[in-house]
Amino acid sequence: MAKQQEEQQTCQYRFSHPNRPREICGLPANLPGDPPCQCGTRHCFWHCLKIDKAPEDENEQEEIRSRLQRAVNERQYLEGAWLSGAHLERAQLAEAHFEEAVLRASCLKDADLCGAHLEGAQLDRAELREARLVDAHLKKANLMAARLQGTELDGARLDGALFHPIRLSEGTSCSWAEWGVCGEERLRNWGKAWYVYREIKKHYDAVGNYKRGNDFYFREMRMYHKLLASQQWMEGAYRARQRLSRSPEQALNDAVMEAYVASLSSKTSRRLAAVRKIWRFAKKGVVAAWAHISSASLKFIMFVGWLLTHVIWGLHRFVWGYGVRPARTFGWMIAAILCFALKFFSSWPVAGLDLKEPSLCSSLGWWKGMQLALTMSLGAFTSVGHSAYQPGTAAGQFWSGFEGLLGMLLAAAFLVALATKYVRRG
C-alpha cells in the first residue's frame, strides 16, 4: 500500500538511455504550485507533455529558467524532459543531462551548455546563437534547421547528428569539433548529406581552416558520387520500364507524330529541319525496336552501367581522393613501381651489356637483381628509358610501355592533386 502511494506521488517516466542511473525518474509528481499532470500517467513537471513550458509572461519564463538551473545544479537526471519552445536564454546548464530531451524550437541563445549530455535530443529549429556547446555530447541529436550562428562547438561530439539545412556563420567556432558521420549519411540520404558537408566545407574555407575544408570537400564529393550513382540507377530503371511498356510500332508512330507536329508549327525555312527531325525520330524508333528485349537483359545492361559508374567514381576516389589527396596518388605510384619491379625480377627477361642473352634479374642474385629490376621499372615509369638495359621479350616491352603510360597519368594526377590541395577555394 505504501509503495503504491509512493508511486502515485513520484514521476513514473521510464528512462531508456544506456547510461541511465535508474529505471524511472522518481522525482515528485506534484510540487506545491505545480499544475496537475494531464498525460494520464503520473509525471513530474519536466516530463508532463501538456504542461506549457513556453509561457508568454516573462516572469513565468524566468521562473522556469531558474527552476531548471536549480535542477541541473542538483544533478537531477532529466532524460526525455519536455521543454519544447522553452525560453532558456543565458541559462547556466553546464554538464546537464538532457539525453533524448525535447527542446524543439526552444530559445537557448547565449546559454551555457558546456559538457552537456544531449545525445538523441530534439533540437530542431532551436535558437542556439552565441550558445556555448564546448565538449557537449550531441551524438544522434536532431539539429535540423537549428541556428548555429556564433555557436561554440569546439570539442563537441556530433557523430550521427542531423543538420539539414545547416546554418553556420563565420562566428561559429568549430575548429576542434568532432563531426563524425552526419545523420543524413547514416540514413543514406545522399543529397542532404552532400548539402551538409558542402556547407561545412564552405564555412572552414571562409574562416581559413583549409585542412579541414579539404577533408569535408572529400566527403562532399563522396556523397555526390553516391547521389549521382543512385540517380543514374533510378533513371535507368525508369527508361527500362518505359521501353518495356511500348511496342516498337508505338515508339515509331509516336516519333513520327511528334516530328509532324513540330513541322506544322515551324516556318517554311525550317521545313528541312523538320524532315531531319522525322528521320532522327525514325532512327530512334528503330533503336527502340531493337531495345525492346526481355526484362532480364535490360536488368543486365542496367547492372553493367551501374557497375561502370561505380568503377569510374571509385577510381576518382581512391586514386587521387577527388583531387585533394595527393598522398594516395603518390602511394599508387610507389606501388606501381614496386609491382613492375617484381615482374622484371621474376618473370620478364632483361637484355643488357653484361648479359649475353636475355635472362631474369633474379639470376644475378637478390641484391643486384633487385637493383636492376628497380632501375628498369623506374626508367619505364618515368619514361626516361632503360639506358644500357632493355626488356628482352615482346611481352616485357609491351608492359614496359604500359608502365610508362601509367606513370605519365599518375604523375599528372599527383601534380594536379598537390596543387588543388593548397589552392584556396573561393
pLDDT 10s digits, 247-264: 555 555 555 555 555 544
pLDDT at residue number 4: 47
Predicted confidence (pLDDT) at residue 243 exceeds the cutoff of 60: no
At 295 the pLDDT is 53
Mean predicted confidence (pLDDT) in 201-230: 86
What residues does each domain of the chain span? 228-298, 325-421
Peptide bond into 358 cis (omega under 30): no
Q: Using CA atoms, how far apart are residues 51 and 100, in angstroms rounded to an integer? A: 18
Q: How confident is the model at residue 75 (pLDDT cuts 50, 70, 90)?
A: confident
Which whole number is the average pLDDT over 62-80? Answer: 87
Asked whether residue 286 carries a pLDDT value surpassing 60, the answer given is no
- The residue written with cell numbers 541563445 in the block is 109
Task: Name the residue with higher pLDDT: 311 or 259.
Answer: 311
Q: Are 256 and 282 in contact (CB under 8 A)?
A: yes
Task: Judge whether residue 330 has pLDDT over 80.
Answer: yes
Round to whole Å and give the CA distance between 36 and 9: 11
**CA–CA gap between residue 33 and residue 27 (Å, rounded):** 15
The region that residue 38 occupies, defined by phi over 0 for left and psi between -120 and 50 for alpha, beta otherwise, is alpha
Cα–Cα distance, 128 to 89 (Å, whole number): 9
Query: What is the number of H-type helices and E-type strands within the chain?
Result: 11, 2
What are φ and ψ of residue 160, in 5° steps? 80, 5
As a whole-number percent, the residues of the chain with pLDDT over 90 amount to 20
- Longest alpha-carbon distance in the chain: 106
CATH architecture of the domain with range 325-421: Orthogonal Bundle (1.10)
Given a contact cutoff of 8 angstroms between Cβ atoms, the answer to whether 207 and 174 are in contact is no
Q: Does residue 352 have a pLDDT over 50?
A: yes
| CA–CA separation, 214 and 166 (whole Å) | 19
Given a cut of 80, whether residue 245 has pLDDT beyond it is no
Taking residues 370-383, report their average pLDDT: 86
Q: Give exposure, 15-52, as e/b (b: 16+ Cβ within 10 Å).
A: beeeeeeeeebbbebbeeeeeebeeeebbbbbbbeebe
Residue 61's pLDDT is: 84
Q: Quote the radius of gyration of the chain (alpha carbons, Å).
A: 33
Residue 206 corresponds to which amino acid?
A: A
Q: Is the pLDDT of residue 37 over 50?
A: yes
Residue 53 has pLDDT above 90, yes or no: no
Mean pLDDT of 46-51: 77
Task: Fill in the DSSP letter of residue 23.
Answer: S
Q: Which of 219, 201, 220 is nearest to 211 (CA)?
A: 201
What is the predicted pLDDT for the residue at 137?
A: 92
* Average pLDDT along the chain: 78
**Binning pLDDT at 50, 70 and 90, where does residue 278 land?**
low
Task: Compute φ and ψ for 112, nearest 5 degrees.
Answer: -100, 105
Q: Looking at the DSSP assignment, which residues form a beta bridge with residue 24?
A: 14
Residues 6+ apart with CB under 8 A from 160: 139, 140, 180, 181, 182, 183, 186
> Which pLDDT belongs to residue 334?
93
Is the per-residue pLDDT at 132 higher than 50? Answer: yes
